[in-house]
Structure 1
Amino acid sequence: MRLAGGMPLAEAVVVADPRAWLALDEAVRVGLPYHLEGLPQWEQAAQLPADLSLLDEPRLALALCHRDGWTREAALEPAARYPDLLPLVVLRCADWVAPVRERARKVLREVLDPGAAVTLAPLILLLGRRDQGAFATELLAVVFRGVPRERLACLYSHADRTVRRFAYRLAVEQRLLSPGLLAQAAARDFDTVVQNLCADAALAAMTDEDPDDVIRPLLTARNPRVRSAGVTALRRAGRVEQSVEFLADRAGLVRACARYVVRQYGGDPLSWYRERCAERGDPTLPPGAVAGLAECGERGDAEVLWSLVRHPAAGVRAQAVAGLRVLDAADARRLSPLLDDPAPGVVREVTAAVLPSAGLLPEEWLVERLGAGWPRPVRIAAFRLLAEQGGAAGQRALIALRGDPDEELRQRATRAVRR
């Protein structure tokens, strides 16, 4: 209605939001109420003339979204005069009516330049998911191919991750970025698709001239997939001694990659894990070393893990308990005192380890730990174990929990009792 009254487009629509254009398109066509005469309110107010070239920008925007295909098609040529209407021309490129699509595509080919492409990229890539949306996406790639690399620079840090993915794919395809810049992008970006794309491209393009430009950003990345690519780069650079330190990485994927690299050069990761974990009182023992011992260890290594369940570092205790479960050496009775551990992570690992043998734990001992005086992780652990046991005393305790002030416990108890 505001557009029908002549309000400028930038005041009536959030022009920077691609979804606002989709909402406008739908609202003009079907979303607004009709009067008794059978026409939408905006259409009665706008009074579109037969010659649409006479329309101003706001009313031309309405014509581009009109329910009548002839009107949408006729509005495309005059719309080319207004850069702010290009988002609606892009929308019409995916129109369900073939003549409208063809006219819109002709107009877009003529007016889309690199500057406009930067602005329209979020909307074009959003529409690319539609059945008829491939044309605009392909045209976008054509426009950007061969342009100076500075044109794409603003897209690498775009807030829309789909735009960043598109820009980096184009950069990799055209080799616009050096291996070092690709590695920095993989370490910096929060989107896993961009991380993986850039990490793989950096590895593929890495040379022997200065591998540090690639290796350093990859190894310091937060994402495990990117760090594992950095360990692979160490192998290609022949730096096996540096890959040893990643045997104790916090991520299993990186540890597995490091073990592969060490073995390729004749090393023995299992011996390294055993030697590292033998220092039971070492406060600097990384939890990843304990996890690694369980991942490639044997049943006999369980005794080392048992000695670590009382380690002063909570992370080490949690990984020791998890390792016992991996080696199928968890003993519910020996582990049960750790249900009172002050670290929630340890309590969660103990619960997972003893859950298959929950019936071995005293029911009344678990019921006691449902009390409001116990820490929340301990109460949740006791609840899960009692629910697994299914005993009469446990059922009574679960029924009582339905009135507990802790919302999560209350909901869990309600679901358990219903089952």
Structure 2
Amino acid sequence: MRCADWADPVRTRARELLAEILDAGTAVTLAPMILRVADRDRGDHALGLLDGVLRRAPRERLAPLLVSGDRTVRRYAYRMAVEEGTLSPVELARVAAEDDDAVLQGRCAEAALAAGLGAETLDVLLGGRNPQARSAGVTALRRLGHPERAVDFLADRSALVRACARYVLRQHGTDPQPWYRARCADPAVEPGAAIGLAECGDRADAPLLWALLEHPTPGVRARAVAGLRALDVTDVRRLRPLLDDPAPGVVGEVTLALLPSARELPEEWLLSRLDAGRPRWERVSAWRLLDAHGDVVRLRTAVPLLSDADVRLRTWAEHAVRRVAHREPRASRSPEVAALLDRAGAVGR
């Protein structure tokens, strides 16, 4: 820490001592502290010493840093490993495929591709649990001349991977839209195919998505609703029954689709869906749709929820009351708004 001291004599002596004691063993122990001090003014000197020691150390000395529980340390260690070429493409691909740090996923995927793709490396990337790895592998299929494998990722759960798969196929002269249309007409359709059709299709594809609203798989129903919203072909009358869907994900997507047309839904009907006995996702949906009705309805909805047992609904209600109270000075409040704010008590003041 004193290597970054404001006093030059202290800083100089500390740097001399650190240079004396820092070897491959102490570097691993002190790395977390040095990396934090590096963010300070004059803190880069200790980091330079750490760099020099670790780059000269045997590969196995870096291993504890690669598995450190400190994210900053791990990012530093993998950056060094990539620069020094101490990890094989397959090892890099495994990190990209399995690590939960998005920065490391991207860095190691790029390094694996740059190091040269073998069959094992490609399979590891394509089988990765995170989109960064899969998208890197799919994109590499173009360079390797295997665009047909990209078809397997057109219905991937990740929008990024689906987009990469479509790109690879188009670069090799294949239009993915017919594949999506055929897949959405198949009872075994995947959720990713439903939204994928909307991502590359047009309004003429809406009938296929409307038909999927009755599919037995909740994920397919949810993605079909999302697709209809993306194509801007939502219909309040046809979507309203799906607010009673047993799957929370479907209700959430329908709510998003209906928000622009929320005022077409009866206020009293929505208020009844806030009853404490209803599933939480239905209550949250009702709140969001009522909130889109405007200030007066928002206030009518919020005041009874100020004592609700659901913390999130209660918090949203408090915020809504405060927003209305802030926007409407006392002198310009309608009698109803004034009465509701009085009921809200201290929250509305």
- TM-score by structure 1 length? 0.74
Distance 1:349 1:337 in 2: 13
What residue number does 1:17 align with?
Answer: none
> Is residue 146 of structure 1 aligned with residue 56 of structure 2?
yes
Q: 2:81 aligns with which of 171, 184, 189?
A: 171
What residue number does 1:54 align with?
Answer: none
Counterpart contact for 2:303–2:321, Cα < 8 Å: yes
> Is residue 246 of structure 1 aligned with residue 246 of structure 2?
no
Distance 1:233 1:146 in 2: 33
Where 1:173 maps in the other structure, the secondary structure is: helix
What residue number does 1:354 align with?
Answer: 258
Gaps of 5+ in 2: 325-349
Residues 158 and 394 from structure 1, CA distance in 2 versus in 1: closer, same or farther, beyond 3 angstroms?
A: closer
Residues 393 and 163 from structure 1, CA distance in 2 versus in 1: closer, same or farther, beyond 3 angstroms?
A: closer
Q: 1:309 aligns with which of 198, 208, 213?
A: 213
Q: 1:230 aligns with which of 116, 137, 147?
A: 137
After TM superposition, what 4+ stretches of structure 1 lie above 3 angstroms from structure 2? 390-398
Q: 2:69 aligns with which of 149, 154, 159?
A: 159
Deviation at 1:395, TM superposition (A): 4.2
After superposition, where does 1:232-381 map in structure 2 within 5 Å? Answer: 232-279=139-186, 282=187, 284-381=188-285
What residue number does 1:197 align with?
Answer: 107
Q: Which of the pair has more CA radius of gyration?
A: 1
Deviation at 1:259, TM superposition (A): 0.6
Distance 1:138 1:235 in 2: 40
> Is residue 118 of structure 1 aligned with residue 22 of structure 2?
no
Amino acid at match of 2:77: A
> Is residue 403 of structure 1 aligned with residue 307 of structure 2?
yes
Deviation string 1:365-418 (CA, Å, 9 cap, x unpaired) is 212211123211111111111121138676434322222222222222232233
Amino acid at match of 2:272: E
Give aligned-pair identity as a percent: 59
Gaps of 5+ in 1: 1-90
Greater relative contact order: 1 or 2 (C-alpha under 8 angstroms, separation 6 or more)?
2
Deviation string 1:161-191 (CA, Å, 9 cap, x unpaired) is 1111111111111111111111112123221
Distance 2:35 2:104 in 1: 16
Distance 1:221 1:215 in 2: 10
Where 1:337 maps in the other structure, the secondary structure is: helix
What residue number does 2:287 align with?
Answer: 383
Distance 2:300 2:170 in 1: 55
Distance 2:197 2:85 in 1: 42
Deviation at 1:307, TM superposition (A): 0.9
Deviation at 1:232, TM superposition (A): 1.8
Counterpart contact for 2:96–2:132, Cα < 8 Å: no
Deviation at 1:223, TM superposition (A): 1.8
| More off after superposition, 315-324 vs 137-146 | 137-146
What residue number does 2:37 align with?
Answer: 127
- TM-score by structure 2 length? 0.89
Where 2:57 maps in the other structure, the secondary structure is: coil
Counterpart contact for 2:141–2:147, Cα < 8 Å: yes
More helix by share: 2
Counterpart contact for 1:172–1:201, Cα < 8 Å: yes
Counterpart contact for 2:97–2:129, Cα < 8 Å: yes
After superposition, where does 1:5-44 map in structure 2 within 5 Å? Answer: none
